Chain A
Amino acid sequence: MDGGYYRSKQVIAFLVPALVFFLAFNTYPLIEAFRMSFYNWNIVRPENSQFVGLANYMKAFSDPIFWTSMKNTVLYALVTVPAQMALGLLVAMFLNFNLPGTKVFRTIYYLPVISSWVVVSLLFRYLFNGEAGLVNYILVDLLQIFPSYVSWFRNASTALFVIMLLGIWKGVGWSMVIFLAGLQGIPTELREASMIDGASSGQHFWQVVLPILRPTMGFVAIMLVIGGFNVFTSVFLVTGGGPLHRTEVLLTYMYYQGFERLNFGYGAALSYILGIIIFVISVIQLRLFQKPVEM
């Protein structure tokens, strides 16, 4: 015993099984991807791969499709993260009134979260079908908002719109759960105290609830931004990056370079660019949300 901890060589037996999997299929690939990103990788004879220094990274910066995919990824995060947070918080506040039936609503809002990305991506393709999809029917025939059916996937901006909508639709339930857990941690006495001080509900929300939720918001924001930059399956299945690579995001483009064009070195460099971006943004966010709260 040592400060409440055991000290024994036998600990190795507890460490090794997990570490074998982790080091072999997680740590090693991470290091290997870094190394590969400096090579013009030869798939048939890896030992003949040619060291090219930073050329793969330079190539990315002069590759217009890389910039398109970067722009789309950032746009995706910029649109879907705030939307999921705002809607998630809104629903969580409604559920936090604890009206009868709340649990049923909570269950329903989770359904998209736990459903497979593959299934919901195909589902959105069907709903947004250009000829006779449900969405076109509602918008054109029922509500008469648009004069004629929209070919959602023919055009990059409408296709991206559908993909972002899918991301928000699938994600709201997740941030709702986290916010609800945060809200339930706020003692009800605080609301009473605000009322005694004559604060309106709005003042109470902005000046009491939001500051308390700050760490929760930080957690949700970081997770959602990471998730947003990692968007892949929905784009891959809904548009496949098309038409003409115009809806490509970083990961679909990386996958295209890696497994369609078999440019493993370039693909590895693209994945490291994404990893570095996510790392930097996460560190900045951690700093932002860790700042002490002025009250």
Chain B
Amino acid sequence: MKKQSFWSRTLIYLLLLGGALLSTIPFLFMLSTSFKEHSYVFELPPRFIPENPTLSNYIQAWTWNNFELYFTNSFVVSLVTTLIVLIVASMLAFAFARFRFWGKNILYYLILSSLMVPSMMLIIPQFILAKNLRLLNSLPGLVFVYVAMNVAVSTFLLRGFFESLPRELEDATRMDGGGFFTIFFRIVLPLSKPSLATVTVFTFLFGWDEFVWALTAINQQSRLTLPVAIHSFHGAHQTQWGLVFAASMFAIAPVLIAFVLLQRHFIQGLTSGAIKG
């Protein structure tokens, strides 16, 4: 391929840099505001480097009304959701990849077609169902719905991966009298770490960021997850943006760090359509 000339290279870099600034400035400004005393939040002209930076927003946000608890709730809900999805979706994907059974194709397309259904179409019946099962205001109520919302895409991703695995080991195990569970847990799962990692990343992120169902199903303060807590935090401290953004940093900092460390899996999740904007 032809090498770009100096000028076209410079132009490309300038444009890329412009885009990168547009992508990051809002975050940087948010970070900066989170270190500002309240009286500096709307100073004119706005400053990127805060005058008299302070940690008080972070301390106040963390100690406000059990913020620590919301962080834990979010973590537990995301973790348990991820564990359940990993187990049930990989089992389902294994069934589709390795078995022949009655109604297989219909079942598979039923599950896949659910990806086209807007998840909010389900929210009113889900609310009634959760109410009847006494799952409102409870973390399991969040987990069950999140699992259901992630089964389809995870199964789709894992089935493709399982089908690409060589069969020899599995068939040999079968000949030696090994059961399907031995094959699944001892051979298939250990070979599938990369795609299991992808499922882990996007399921966890889903649980961490999910807002609508948590907003609808949780009323009780002590059961809030981070996105809803930040929302109600904003409601309670309308103009105290330093506080709101300090609280927000607690929610997005772990995601950004994980993203930089585990980029490959995020990108796989993105390209498979599991994480859409």
Contact = CB atoms under 8 A, between A and B. Distances in A.
Interface of A: 1-8, 10-11, 13-15, 17-19, 21-22, 24-30, 32-33, 36, 46, 84, 91, 94-95, 97, 99, 101, 105, 107-120, 122-124, 126-127, 129, 131-132, 134, 137, 141, 167, 169-174, 177-178, 181, 188, 191-192, 195, 219, 223, 226-227, 229-230, 232-233, 237, 251, 254-255, 258-259, 264, 267-268, 271-272, 274-275, 278-279, 282
Interface string B109-132: 011001011111111111111000
A109 to B, nearest CB: 6
Interface in B8-36: 9, 12-13, 15-16, 19-20, 22-24, 26-27, 29-30, 33
A103 to B, nearest CB: 9
Contacts of A1: 171
A131 B42 contact: yes
A278 B116 contact: yes
Q: Please report whether the interface of chain B is mostly helix, strand, loop or mixed according to DSSP.
A: helix
A282 B148 contact: no
Given A109-B19, A110-B266, A122-B234, A11 B95 contact: yes
A2 B29 contact: no
A28 B208 CA distance: 25
A29 B125 contact: yes
6 contacts: A26-B122, A26-B148, A36-B125, A115-B252, A115-B255, A275-B117
Interface in B102-161: 107, 110-111, 114, 116-129, 144-145, 147-149, 151-152, 155
Nearest to B230: A118
A3 B100 CA distance: 9
A233 B121 CA distance: 14
A122 B101 contact: no
B230 A122 contact: yes
A129 to B, nearest CB: 7
Nearest to B9: A99
B231 A237 contact: yes
B91 A17 contact: yes
B15 A28 contact: no
Given A119-B248, A122-B230, A169-B23, 19 more contacts: A25-B149, A26-B151, A28-B129, A30-B122, A36-B125, A97-B4, A99-B9, A101-B13, A109-B19, A116-B208, A118-B251, A123-B27, A126-B30, A126-B33, A126-B244, A195-B2, A223-B273, A237-B231, A278-B116
B99 A8 contact: yes
B148 A177 contact: no
B29 A107 contact: no
Interface of B: 1-2, 4, 9, 12-13, 15-16, 19-20, 22-24, 26-27, 29-30, 33, 42-46, 84, 87-89, 91-92, 94-95, 98-101, 107, 110-111, 114, 116-129, 144-145, 147-149, 151-152, 155, 167, 171, 174, 179-181, 184, 205, 208-209, 211-212, 216, 227, 230-231, 234, 241, 244-245, 248, 251-252, 255-256, 259-260, 263, 266-267, 270-271, 273, 275-277
Contact of A233 (B29, B125, B212, B275): B212
Contacts of A29: 122-126, 129
B92 A114 contact: no
A122 B267 CA distance: 26
A1 to B, nearest CB: 8
B245 to A, nearest CB: 8
A21 B116 contact: no
B98 A24 contact: no
Given A26-B149, A259-B216, A32 B125 contact: yes
A171 B29 contact: no
A167 B277 contact: yes
Contacts of B43: 132
B174 to A, nearest CB: 8
A268 B209 contact: no
B148 A21 contact: yes
A251 B124 CA distance: 12
Contact of B99 (A6, A111, A137, A226): A6
Contacts of B270: 110, 113, 174, 177-178
Contacts of B271: 177-178, 181
* 5 interchain residue pairs of minimum CB distance: A25-B148, A29-B125, A32-B125, A5-B100, A18-B92
Contacts of B244: 122, 126
Contacts of A272: 121
B87 A94 contact: no
Contact of A10 (B29, B180, B231): B180
Contacts of B128: 32, 46, 264
A177 B151 CA distance: 24
Contacts of B144: 21, 24-25
A101 B9 CA distance: 12
Contact of A22 (B12, B20, B87, B148): B148
Contacts of B27: 111, 115, 123
Contacts of B267: 110, 177
